Structure 1
Amino acid sequence: MSAAPAIAAKPAAREPGNAFPVAVVCLAILLVWYVAAIPMNWVVTGPKIEGAGGGLSNTLAFSWNEARPVLPAPHQIAQELWKSVFTVAPWSVKSLLYHGWVTLSSTLVGFILGSLLGIALAIAIVHVKFLAKSLMPWIIASQTIPILAIAPMVIVVLGSLGFTGLVPKSLISMYLCFFPVTIGMVKGLTSPEVMQLDLMRTYNASTSQVLWKLRFPASVPFLFTSLKVAVAIALTGAIVGELPTGAIAGIGARLLQGSYYGQTVQIWAALFMGSFLAAALVWLVGVAERFTLRRMGVKP
């Protein structure tokens, strides 16, 4: 009896990467940006272009290289970033690395405090029934108040008590980032199925054992998802906290200085620096998530 012919297993097709679509979108944004810079800067560059005789070459040259444009061209922002990051000492007040570190320090403190507060509130809400109805609505309502209205009050009150600098900015970051952590952890802590909870009761497990051996491990994916949102919001809170104080250091201070002196290129460079910091922080949380899940035995 002849053996059945072996069928060679075909290798699984690799999914296409995301690099090409992202590159196409980025190129489209750059194209639209360069085109939009021409009419946006016309108020400033129009007389100069007409004085130079007009023409496409003069229009592009003046529109994309104006010292104080309404909308700077992307290459102007890149040049400012290079100059502010790589050509000056990191401890200089002209360095975006220096300003980024000032903002980053208050961001990390606020992020840690907000995460701990959010986890503690979620544990309390899950285990104390009346808190789910009495505390949760207030937590949700707290996020309906604009942070621009709260930040000056927090800074003034804490300043009158002698707390300035890092503390007020960290508390503002904490106020913003505790909310997604609380919501995510409540969802994660209540994610175990009824059968799993019944099994723990069958083993006569205490409330704390159910929390640490079942609820908390089940909530880890929810926790890291909310932490990615929280760390980006914490950076926003730190920048907003620098605006009402007239700070001389930090991304927010850099934005204020640029607005005072009409340096739009400096403003945009500071905004991009803040975006890069937020992206780096979210990436680091993602690395911690993959490491933690791998240690827990979860397949990637």
Structure 2
Amino acid sequence: MRWFRLRAVPVISVLLALIVVWYVAAVWMNSQWTLDQAARAETTPGFTEIVKDTMVQERPKLPAPHQVAVSFYDLVFDKKVTSKRSLVYHAWVTLSATLFGFAIGTGLGIALALGIVHNRAMDMSVMPWAIASQTIPILAIAPMIIVVLNSIGITGLVPKAVISAYLSFFPVVVGMVAGLRSPDAMQLDLMKTYNASATQVLFKLRLPASMPFLFASLKVGIAAALVGAVVGELPVQQGGLGARLLGGSYYGQTIQMWAALFMAAILAAVLVFIVARVEAGVLKRMGMAR
């Protein structure tokens, strides 16, 4: 009961408040359609009729929560996972690109961080370019990446993974650099008194000290990789949650768009949770957490 009061009650309270605000916004945004239809029919609907109509429109500006929930259930549980109408199918397409890109971005980020920490030339040259790379809007660079890779015969999963890696490597670089530099001067001096080599300092001191920083970065990186995969699916339209979002936008299927958006949010939450559980296990094994 103590855990429920401290953890669950605040979350449920915020969720209920958001749902209430969502319903109010749905009535406000969708009421214009009801009023326009009533004006054409030369009738004057009451408040109850307006609210009732805004809850059941086929293509509302803002779907009500129950409409999104019904559509989500239908697209997840009532469709075969192999069907291209299933959100599970599209979530798998997005997830595969996300994990591939995240692996590339994490490996590249750790490698760059090691070079930056141990080489002053890389610190002065690579780090500014890594920062500058994040100023380019992903919506502008994603089609360019896909076109360039397609021109040399690379299609399918790889272009989307490259976009995911582009977004995920930067948090890993920044976090890993901060973690590798987190040992203070006294700890580094102690390693020198033991006549430790640079490799021993790295594996005995710098890497263990960097683990909390690394996992904090990985949580950001995995979410960014998912965003990159979704954005990468917009131009190619070969499946994935991004394709579902764009398809819903083309045909005014706002309920489908919101269902796909919720699937992406759930997928991101699951990925971050998995990273958090791995973090807890690793840090506990290293004696850094209970």
Task: Tell me if TM exceeds 0.5.
Answer: yes
Q: TM-score range by the shorter chain?
A: over 0.9
Q: Is the 8 A contact 2:35 2:45 kept in 1?
A: no
Name the SS for the 1:17 alignment partner.
helix
Which whole-Å CA distance do the structure 1 matches of 2:286 and 2:279 have between them?
Answer: 11
Which whole-Å CA distance do the structure 2 matches of 1:272 and 1:81 have between them?
Answer: 8
Deviation at 1:55, TM superposition (A): 1.9
Aligned to 1:275: 265
Aligned to 1:263: 253
Q: Does 1:242 align with 2:236?
A: no
Aligned to 2:129: 138
Q: Is the 8 A contact 1:45 1:66 kept in 2?
A: no
Aligned to 2:178: 187
TM norm structure 1: 0.92
Write out per-residue CA displacement over residues 203-256 of structure 1, whole angstroms, 9 at most, x where no aligned residue.
Answer: 1111111101110000000000000000000000000001112x1310011011
Deviation at 1:140, TM superposition (A): 0.4
Please identify which structure carries the higher helix content. Answer: 2
Among residues 27, 34, 41, which one is paired with 2:30 in the alignment? 41
Aligned to 1:3: none
Deviation at 1:47, TM superposition (A): 3.5
Which whole-Å CA distance do the structure 2 matches of 1:135 and 1:103 have between them?
Answer: 30
Q: Is the 8 A contact 1:49 1:58 kept in 2?
A: no
Q: Is the 8 A contact 1:69 1:264 kept in 2?
A: yes
Q: Is the 8 A contact 1:49 1:62 kept in 2?
A: no
Deviation at 1:45, TM superposition (A): 2.1
Among residues 21, 35, 40, which one is paired with 1:32 in the alignment? 21
Aligned to 1:10: none
Q: Does 1:74 align with 2:65?
A: yes
Aligned to 2:140: 149
Deviation at 1:98, TM superposition (A): 0.2
The letter for the 2-side match of 1:196 is Q
Which structure is larger by alpha-carbon Rg, 1 or 2?
Answer: 1
Distance 1:105 1:15, change over 3 A: closer
Which whole-Å CA distance do the structure 2 matches of 1:146 and 1:234 have between them?
Answer: 15
Q: Is the 8 A contact 1:173 1:237 kept in 2?
A: yes
Deviation at 1:73, TM superposition (A): 0.3
Aligned to 1:299: 289
Deviation at 1:284, TM superposition (A): 0.4
Which runs of 5 or more structure 2 residues have no equivalent in the other structure?
Answer: none
The letter for the 2-side match of 1:36 is A
Aligned to 1:118: 109
| 1:81-120 correspondence to structure 2 within 5 Å | 81-120=72-111
Aligned to 2:209: 218
Deviation at 1:53, TM superposition (A): 5.2
The letter for the 1-side match of 2:267 is L
Deviation at 1:49, TM superposition (A): 5.2
Deviation at 1:39, TM superposition (A): 2.1
Q: Is the 8 A contact 2:280 2:289 kept in 1?
A: no
Aligned to 1:233: 224
RMSD value, Cα: 1.5
Q: Is the 8 A contact 1:169 1:237 kept in 2?
A: yes
Deviation at 1:43, TM superposition (A): 2.9
The letter for the 1-side match of 2:185 is V
TM norm structure 2: 0.95
Runs (4+) of structure 1 exceeding 3 A deviation are: 13-16, 47-53
Which whole-Å CA distance do the structure 1 matches of 2:3 and 2:261 have between them?
Answer: 37
The letter for the 1-side match of 2:180 is L
Which whole-Å CA distance do the structure 2 matches of 1:15 and 1:38 have between them?
Answer: 33
Q: Is the 8 A contact 1:49 1:59 kept in 2?
A: no
Aligned to 1:8: none
Write out per-residue CA displacement over residues 120-142 of structure 1, whole angstroms, 9 at most, x where no aligned residue.
Answer: 00000000012111111111010
Distance 1:116 1:82, change over 3 A: same
Deviation at 1:199, TM superposition (A): 1.2
Aligned to 1:5: none
